[in-house]
Amino acid sequence: MEQMTSSIHRQIPPVDTIINSPRLIPFIQKTSRSFIIGIVRRVLNVVRQEISSNTEKEISTADLNKIIFQKIHEEFLFWTEPTLKRVINATGVILHTNLGRAPINQDALEYATEIASNYSNLEFDLVRRVREKRDNHISRILENLLDCEQAIVVNNNAAAVLLVLNSLGSGGEVLISRGEMIEIGDSFRIPDILQQSGTILREIGTTNKTRLADYEQNINENTKLILKVHPSNFKISGFTSQTTLKELSSLSSKHSLPLVDDLGSGCLIDLTKFGIEDEPNPHTSLVDGADIVCFSGDKLLGGPQAGIIAGKSKFINKIRKNPLFRILRLDKVTLAILESTLLTYLKQCPDQIPVVQMIYHSEASIEKRVLKIIQRFSNKNSNLNLNIVKGFSVIGGGSAPSQKLGTWLISLRSKTHSTSKIDALLRSLDPPILARFEMDTVLLDLRTVFPQDDSLLAQSLENLAKS
Ligand SMILES: *Cc1c(COP(=O)(O)O)cnc(C)c1O
445 C-alpha to center of ligand 1: Å?
Answer: 25
For residues 185-193, average pLDDT: 79
149 C-alpha to center of ligand 1: Å?
Answer: 23
The fold for domain 105-350 equals Aspartate Aminotransferase; domain 2 (3.40.640)
7 C-alpha to center of ligand 1: Å?
Answer: 61
Which protein residue has the closest C-alpha to ligand 1 atom 14? 264
Domain with CATH 3.40.640.10 in the chain: 105-350
4 C-alpha to center of ligand 1: Å?
Answer: 61
For residues 3-12, average pLDDT: 70
156 Cβ below 6 A of ligand 1: yes
> Is residue 361's pLDDT more than 60?
yes
83 C-alpha to center of ligand 1: Å?
Answer: 26
Tens digits of residue pLDDT in 14-38: 999 999 999 999 999 999 999 999 9
For residues 301-313, average pLDDT: 98
Which protein residue has the closest C-alpha to ligand 1 atom 13? 264
262 Cβ below 6 A of ligand 1: yes
188 Cβ below 6 A of ligand 1: yes
| Count of Cβ atoms closer than 10 Å to residue 252 Cβ | 23
> Is residue 297's pLDDT more than 80?
yes
Q: What is the pLDDT of residue 226?
A: 97
Q: What is the pLDDT of residue 236?
A: 61
| Count of Cβ atoms closer than 10 Å to residue 138 Cβ | 24
Which protein residue has the closest C-alpha to ligand 1 atom 5? 157
Please identify, by atom number, the ligand 1 atom nearest to the C-alpha of residue 305.
7
DSSP state of 223: E
Q: What is the pLDDT of residue 397?
A: 72
307-311/150-154 β-pairing: antiparallel
> Is residue 332's pLDDT more than 60?
yes
157 C-alpha to center of ligand 1: Å?
Answer: 5
Please identify, by atom number, the ligand 1 atom nearest to the C-alpha of residue 188.
4
Q: Which of 296, 299, 395, 399 to mutate to test the pocket of ligand 1 (most atoms within 8 A of CB)?
A: 296
Q: Is the dihedral of CA 320, 326, 331, 334 positive or negative?
A: negative
| Count of Cβ atoms closer than 10 Å to residue 411 Cβ | 17
> Is residue 263's pLDDT more than 80?
yes
460 in helix, strand or coil? helix
218 C-alpha to center of ligand 1: Å?
Answer: 26
How much of the chain, in percent, has pLDDT values that exceed 90?
Answer: 75
- Class for the domain spanning 88-94+359-465: alpha beta
Please identify, by atom number, the ligand 1 atom nearest to the C-alpha of residue 263.
13
| Count of Cβ atoms closer than 10 Å to residue 20 Cβ | 9
Which carries the bigger pLDDT value, residue 435 or residue 273?
435
264 Cβ below 6 A of ligand 1: yes
317 C-alpha to center of ligand 1: Å?
Answer: 23
103 Cβ below 6 A of ligand 1: no
Alpha-carbon distance 277 to 226, whole Å? 24
Q: Which of 183, 192, 262 to mutate to test the pocket of ligand 1 (most atoms within 8 A of CB)?
A: 262
Q: What is the pLDDT of residue 238?
A: 65
Alpha-carbon distance 441 to 438, whole Å? 5
Q: What is the pLDDT of residue 1?
A: 46
Q: From residue 134, how far is each of 120, 131, 411 by CA, in Å? A: 11, 9, 49
Tens digits of residue pLDDT in 142-162: 999 999 999 999 999 999 999
158 C-alpha to center of ligand 1: Å?
Answer: 5
Which protein residue has the closest C-alpha to ligand 1 atom 12? 264
204 C-alpha to center of ligand 1: Å?
Answer: 22
307 Cβ below 6 A of ligand 1: yes
Domain with CATH 3.90.1150.180 in the chain: 88-94+359-465
Three-class SS of 129-176: CEECCCCHHHHHHHHHHHCCCEEEEECCHHHHHHHHHHHHHCCCEEEE
Which protein residue has the closest C-alpha to ligand 1 atom 7? 157
256 C-alpha to center of ligand 1: Å?
Answer: 26
261 Cβ below 6 A of ligand 1: no
Which protein residue has the closest C-alpha to ligand 1 atom 3? 264
320 in helix, strand or coil? helix
Q: Are 236 and 179 in contact (CB under 8 A)?
A: yes
> Is residue 401's pLDDT more than 70?
no
329 C-alpha to center of ligand 1: Å?
Answer: 17
By C-alpha distance, which of 224, 199, 436 is closest to 315? Answer: 224
Instruction: State the average pLDDT for the chain.
Output: 91
155 Cβ below 6 A of ligand 1: no
Least confident interval from 132-141, 327-336, 402-411: 402-411
